Structure 1
């Protein structure tokens, strides 16, 4: 076990623990467990997590997952007497873990994150732990989980292939791995676009490019979302690897009622995301004035769009070899 990968800590937050778990970075509350990771951990971020979770459920036809999860988590499945177990990496507000615990009451569901943002009133089969997952050796036993779920994780991971290797190690043979990541490049009319006047959303694109630059400065591979399937296949431990993507509307322009709901949720989530990126942008060397100009230009494009803004969602599910 490496130095950073101490055993996961059960969440038991009391009013006196605030300074233990949280710090303020450029005006936003962040976690203390991993000082390198400066995405907020506060009420506005919880609201963003909720919007994102609701949006994904619409995209997945009111489900929380893709792939043969119901089969793998069937109470009739032969596990040799072992309890069925689900691990939610980077659980955030814990909504996915709670939903899974409600849907599968015979399954033990564990959500893991850097900060204790999760609710306390949860199903008895749902627990939350604190752990820094940006590590070369995760503190979880091999072959111990039937479903491992990780979404919106890649921007907090320095070595994503190693992270995948660890997820593969802890997944039981026959288990399902689910990875969900948004591409960091803006999309207009089904094509990636750059920060120029022809894009119709130069401010939105400029923020996206600065965020990618800031993450690369921190050693993050920003191409991970589009390559997840390839990376999982490269593990050589899966019989089936499926990657798909969908361009998610951002805004109120879709005519289809379901897509309109998705677009509204994505619009509200994006509005919060622009401001959530502020600590990262300031930490990358930009000054207050530059960040203010960037965020205001991005908000202008979001509030008064000249084109149909989209964002590309990449989804992978893979079944580990028996």
Structure 2
């Protein structure tokens, strides 16, 4: 049987690299694409010797050319952490708009099924809890987070437009907070920030009073959900995340207990438009995909901490990369 071909954008990023691993393992021919603005080749260099993997250093906001057929496209190219999209707001908007447009055009031309990576941030600071796929959200389009939130909302809109107008075979996953190996310690999100501070012997920084909640999904569970959604027949958005909710204050205390660190928790003002609650309703994922998370937070945190501990010491103090050519 002929080997199926899949294009994964954002391939050198946290989630993209895990997707590359999964599809190579499943017997696909994987074409990874990344402009390396936030991705890192070290996440996929173990695949370079595989006959089922090739890498294109390319920016998806520019025209995408792929020789030969394509069966699937997974569009995961996007800055995904506040520290990134606050520094490169225009690029964040462009990859959600022009990048998605290019990927959808490629899917149309190749007759490929495309899955786009949306986010729980489309719900903004939610007034409905937990968040179902039918909730339209509470987003500030002109606030500092609007460049990411609205990029993803536009991504969903143009994806559905290509589905209804052009008949492109589309899937939309709304990803909730995910963690695991290959996260960047300096990406500004709570889990790597807490672990990085603990490893450096710094006090853990909690914003606000720490009562705001998050729901953390281990990366292996998320990849399984995405894989099942891609191969399903469902074309509307589906939440994939872990519904077990925890306050950031309690989460910081869990990290302290895990690391055995004697540092304290310090509090700083809450950033503008920071969501107060985040918890997915995964009823659709359970019923449509037979999916629910398997890795509990204690085990997932242990695996993630072991990964961060194994990094070279210079990684602990590494600053976010400088971004260039981002007009």
More strand by share: 1
TM, length-normalised to structure 2: 0.42
Q: Which has the higher contact order (CA 8 A, sep 6+)?
A: 1
TM-score by length of 1: 0.43
